[in-house]
Amino acid sequence: MTNHDHPLSRKNILICVGGGIAAYKVCEVISQLYKWGVNLEIILTDSAQKFITPLTLSTLARKSAYTDRDFWQPVYSRPLHITLGEWADLMVIAPLTANTLGKLVYGLADNLLTNTILASTCPIIVAPAMNTQMWLQKSVQDNWQKLHRDSRYHLLHTNTGLLACDQVGKGRMAEAKEILISIESIISSQGKRDLVGKNILISGGNTREYIDPVRFIGNPATGKMGIALANACYYRGGKVTLVAGNINSQLLQQLPPIQIISVTTAEEMESAMMSNFSQADITYMAAAVADVKPCNYSSQKLSKQSLPSNLKLEQVNDIVAKLGEIKQPTQKLIGFAAQTGDILTPAKEKLQRKKLDAIVANPIDKDNAGFATDTNEAILIDRQEQQTIIETTTKLTLAHHIINKTLEN
């Protein structure tokens, strides 16, 4: 999949930059969106220009960046804020200052940014950034909670770390990668928050069945599909629990504030899934779980000479089949089948035998699909064995397609 085949290609996204040192992070966001073929427009507030120049952002976007100077000049055939507001499929405000936050809550409009917001109906992502004491002020937190209640706004969390004031605390703006994930999620879901009030349980990654402390039976699943599902469900309003099997910490750091249960073996994954399953409205079993494990485990590393020539194996419990046995009528259970060759026949068999509501069959013997890739393709099969073909796309957009079909049935 080329950059210009990206799911965001040709979407209209308006980036609004507020006044704060975190404005530098927006450069990476704009640069990546341009590479993906997004139609970009940029607005900078007067205070934003004290931290980053319109020339910098216009160079990255290959488009002129608008300021309040443009807003007050009668040089356009239609009012600029009306034109931009009607054009945008999505707006992103980053960094969001305490000042602009207050204006959003009370519907104030005294510059190009705030007037454009009132002249638009599209979803809006906001990424706040400020000093810890400013962020924790009761007035700011009250405004933040009020903004939560407006379904147009999709609120990114602040991170904890070293701030420009040399304090360590909450208030750091979300990283560029997190902003890009939220943009793709909101575009893919069309801003819907259709999982609000739903508990979502997801397994991702792989399991390892150890022979000794350094050798194990495993598989190459990285957890990228599970991560994508967790992000997609979170941005649609779900309360998400991810059971993460050996997922790299850098991938986990891309996640918003959800519950993460880290496990290593199939037995640990089974315990975590069984403990959390009864509260789940929807469960996605995306992890690649081992089918067998060594009969014997050595607590000491075995020398090469003492390794058994024939490794005795025993089967591990089939987690998703056990969940299918105890699933209640109000719950939905979706499995995954990573296959080579014929992906449909084994997937249909698993669907029925394991009492799933749907199964996602995907090839692992094609380029840009399967383990460790950022893209995937799949055939989604429901209980009636109706098939939905999902062409090669990012795993995040694929996750949204899966959620859409889950909610249809």
Query: pLDDT at position 168, please?
Result: 80
Query: pLDDT at position 264, please?
Result: 98
Q: Distance between CA 201 and CA 231 in Å, rounded?
A: 12
DSSP annotation string for 281-345: SEEEE-SB--SEEES---SSPPPGGGS-SS--EEEPP-HHHHHHHH--TT-EEEEEEEESS--HH
Low-confidence ranges of the chain (pLDDT < 50): none
Residues of the chain with CATH 3.40.50.1950: 9-189
CATH class of 9-189: alpha beta
Q: Distance between CA 303 and CA 355 in Å, rounded?
A: 44
Q: Is 122 a catalytic residue?
A: no
Residues of the chain with CATH 3.40.50.10300: 199-408
Q: Between the CA of residue 255 and those of 31, 180, 279, what are the distances in Å?
A: 22, 12, 21
CATH class of 199-408: alpha beta
The model carries a pTM of 0.94
Query: pLDDT at position 255, please?
Result: 93
User: Which of the following is catalytic: 16, 165, 233, 295?
Assistant: 165
Query: pLDDT at position 403, please?
Result: 97
Q: Distance between CA 77 and CA 81 in Å, rounded?
A: 12
Backbone CA torsion sign across 81, 83, 89, 94: negative
